[in-house]
Structure 1
């Protein structure tokens, strides 16, 4: 997945979390690692 794709996924995940009342990891580096891992699988 490209960096653009990961950024798009990040935006969708943040919006979803906001709608559902979830709290994402505030550490952007950790969040990026999780998103990259999900994109690989």
Structure 2
């Protein structure tokens, strides 16, 4: 199984003013293709 990482960019995310809710969906989409999100 191939593994992927994702880099978060953006001041609101990095400062903690917002919580990212999209990585769970990205992990689901990758898993459906036999891939794994291993780090963020």
Fold-level match, TM-score > 0.5? no
With the shorter chain as reference, the TM-score category is: 0.3 to 0.5
| Larger Rg computed on CA atoms | 2
Q: Which has the higher strand share?
A: 2
TM-score (norm. length: structure 2): 0.43
Q: Which has the higher helix share?
A: 1
TM-score (norm. length: structure 1): 0.42
